[in-house]
Amino acid sequence: MEVATRFVFGNELLEIAKTNDSFVVCNADTKACGIEAMSELFPNRSYSIGIAEQNLINVASGLAATGFKVFACTFAVFATMRCCEQVRTYICYPKLNVTVVGTHTGLQVGEDGATHAAVEDVAIMGALPNMTIIQPADAVAARSIAHASIGFTGPLYIRLHRNPSPVIYDDSYQFELGKATKILNYGDDVALISTGIMLQKVLDAAGILNAKGIRVRVIDMSTLKPIDEEAVLEAAKATNAIITIEDHSIIGGLGSSVSQLLAEKYPCKVKCIGIPDVFGESGPCEILYTKYNMDTTGIVVAAEKLVAQKNINNRNE
Amino acid sequence: MADFQKLGVHDLKCMSRTIRTDILKMVHAACSGHPGGSLSATDIVTALYFNTLNINPKDPQWEDRDRFILSKGHCCPVLYACLARRGYFEVNELLTLRKYGTKLQGHPDMNKCPGIDMTSGSLGNGIGCAVGIAIAGKVRNKNYKVYVMLGDGECQEGVVWEAAMCAAHHKLKNLIAIVDVNKLQIIDTTEKVMNIEPLADKWRSFGWKVLEMDGHDMVQIVATLDYAKTMEGPVVILAQTVKGKGVSFMEGVAKWHGAAPSNDELARAISEIEGVAE
Ligand SMILES: Cc1ncc(C[n+]2csc(CCOP(=O)(O)OP(=O)(O)O)c2C)c(N)n1
């Protein structure tokens, strides 16, 4: 079964709201994640701000300053860019308890085109001090993250997805802030570090690579900031070959964080898979993923190449 | 343009029906898009492209042309249909809306589609871009007019009012804004989501001249656009419209903001629009 992380997250928040009145919600006239329904259930705890994202964040900031936990929800492209400075100076700088929920991230918006494809949101939010960034890989993770976000205090950005995507985890999954999930470990040839809904493609690629005799590990990096250094370093030391995969620009996202970490602490072979330095465009997202070698085949080819390079290097040494 | 015969009211009404049909077919073929606000704007955008604007489809970059900016960029089906019918590109390209490789991106892209004077899609911004084009016209002593269309929900964006203040400050006589007051946005009515009234008073207090019209009465539309041209701007025209206009089951229904009709709904919608002709 396939479900969109944004709806699972929003519906879970609604469920939690029934027994927990510690948080309020601000909306900006988008059907972002289903949490908009809170205005009917609990009109006193849900505020309509209109098409005014800068004010959305400022109002959230003011509510948080009085002690509320606030969720501010809209499409990621607007939540992170239209009101970027408000998020920076009125949420992150004063360390206010606001969770910015950005939906419709990456190339999944497909047909809507470049104006709506948030391919740089992680880079932008990641540069803000005090900001924590989380992205679920599937519906189960989204549900767990909904609970975790209620207990979290401080500036938080949650990155959600528009389209239904495969359910990967079983109900035993528990999101742990700052901890990557080591999903599988076939061996030491190459480690694939994925974030968000790219995980299914990565797992498919891992299966194909395994059949070809290339032993891979797969890691799901659900906390993008702060990144799980230990998990990355352990994988790097074991494999000396890391591939990152994300539905985001290769500038400033998972690939950049991993590369920066490894450059300083354990230089090894790295390949970043993601959107090159370009805007999105209209079209079905699967076609766009293929265009940028972000599909299963692209991951398999990149892994084969990286492992081959590593082996040549090893022979030369 | 010399070789273009402006359409009169009767022909504009016929053209509006063609454009409405185009919009529905496009959104249907794309399986996504925004019919509601495209249909509410159809009569006005049709009047602009087939009567008001001084443009040349053979020379889309002609520097003395009037400009039109669709600040509410999600309603681009109406703009693409008018551009195609006016000869900027082939009518059969309309069915490529939102498809991979198309000029007709989900939101207007000035580098991909001829006739688009400004990229848009992020609400609130087009009017500021129009102010820039109007200032350029003023300092270069050009005679062109700059038209910009906004949604009423869009007027909730603060940057709209920064632009409004700026236009009055710079005494932009060549700038004409049109607000498509269809009273709906994505989730609900504008009144419920974030009340923008009294809208005329707001624009007036920002230093604009305010005209009002029925945005579906072609006689009024043409007369108001003609009159606005003669005024010392900036001028805003508040057009009272119906979201989804022309298709009974879409009229005034929020759901049709961003939904594609099924095969059956498309057939019903087109027969309704064509039925009006008799
Ligand atoms: C900055 C920004 N915020 C949010 C959106 C999402 N959005 C697209 S259309 C729309 C509603 C627009 O309502 P209105 O301006 O009244 O347009 P119309 O009813 O004519 O379609 C919203 C919120 C957007 N495109 N840009």
Q: How many domains does the structure of chain A reveal?
A: 2
A137 and A60 belong to one structural domain: yes
C-alpha closest to that of A244 among A301, A182, A174, A294: A294
A300 lies in which domain range? 181-316
- Please indicate, yes or no, if residue A176 is contained in any of the structural domains: no
Return the CATH number at A266.
3.40.50.920
State yes or no: pLDDT of B2 exceeds 70. no
Q: How close B95 comes to chain A (CA, Å)? A: 13
The string of DSSP letters for B220-246 reads HHHHHHHHHHHS-S-EEEEEE--TTTT
Return the CATH number at B38.
3.40.50.970
Q: How confident is the model at residue A314 (pLDDT cuts 50, 70, 90)?
A: confident
pLDDT (tens digit per residue) in B218-244: 999 999 999 999 999 899 999 999 999
Distance CA A126, CA A121 (A): 8
Amino acid identity of residue B99, one-letter, is K
State yes or no: pLDDT of A133 exceeds 80. yes
Q: How confident is the model at residue B7 (pLDDT cuts 50, 70, 90)?
A: very high
Q: How many domains does the structure of chain B reveal?
A: 1
pLDDT (tens digit per residue) in A157-174: 999 999 999 999 999 999
As given in the structure block, the two tokens for residue A50 are 């209109």
Residue pairs spanning A and B at CB distance below 8 A: 88
Within 8 A of A55 by CB-CB distance, chain B residues are: 158
Distance CA B112, CA B103 (A): 5
- Please indicate, yes or no, if residue B226 is contained in any of the structural domains: yes
Between B98, B104, B122, which is nearest A115 by CB? B122
- Please indicate, yes or no, if residue B141 is contained in any of the structural domains: yes
Mark yes or no for CB contact B186/A48 under 8 Å. Answer: no
Tell me what pLDDT residue B277 has.
60
Tell me what pLDDT residue B45 has.
98
B254 lies in which domain range? 9-275
Tell me what pLDDT residue A283 has.
96
A26, A27, A29, A58: best to mutate for the B interface, most B CBs within 10 A: A29
3-state secondary structure of B136: helix
- Please indicate, yes or no, if residue B202 is contained in any of the structural domains: yes
pLDDT (tens digit per residue) in B68-109: 999 999 999 999 999 999 999 999 999 999 999 999 999 999
pLDDT (tens digit per residue) in B102-161: 999 999 999 999 999 999 999 999 999 999 999 999 999 999 999 999 999 999 999 999
Ligand 1 mean position, distance from CA A266 (Å): 47
- Please indicate, yes or no, if residue B4 is contained in any of the structural domains: no
Between A31, A52, A116, which is nearest B156 by CB? A52
When pLDDT is averaged across residues A188-206 and rounded to a whole number, the result is 98
Beta strands in chain B (DSSP E): 67-70, 146-151, 175-181, 209-214, 235-240
pLDDT (tens digit per residue) in A52-67: 999 999 999 999 999 9
State yes or no: pLDDT of B185 exceeds 80. yes
Closest-CA residue in chain B for A285? B100
- Please indicate, yes or no, if residue A171 is contained in any of the structural domains: no
- Please indicate, yes or no, if residue B109 is contained in any of the structural domains: yes
pLDDT (tens digit per residue) in B20-40: 999 999 999 999 999 999 999
pLDDT (tens digit per residue) in A244-298: 999 999 999 999 999 999 999 999 999 999 999 999 999 999 999 999 999 999 9
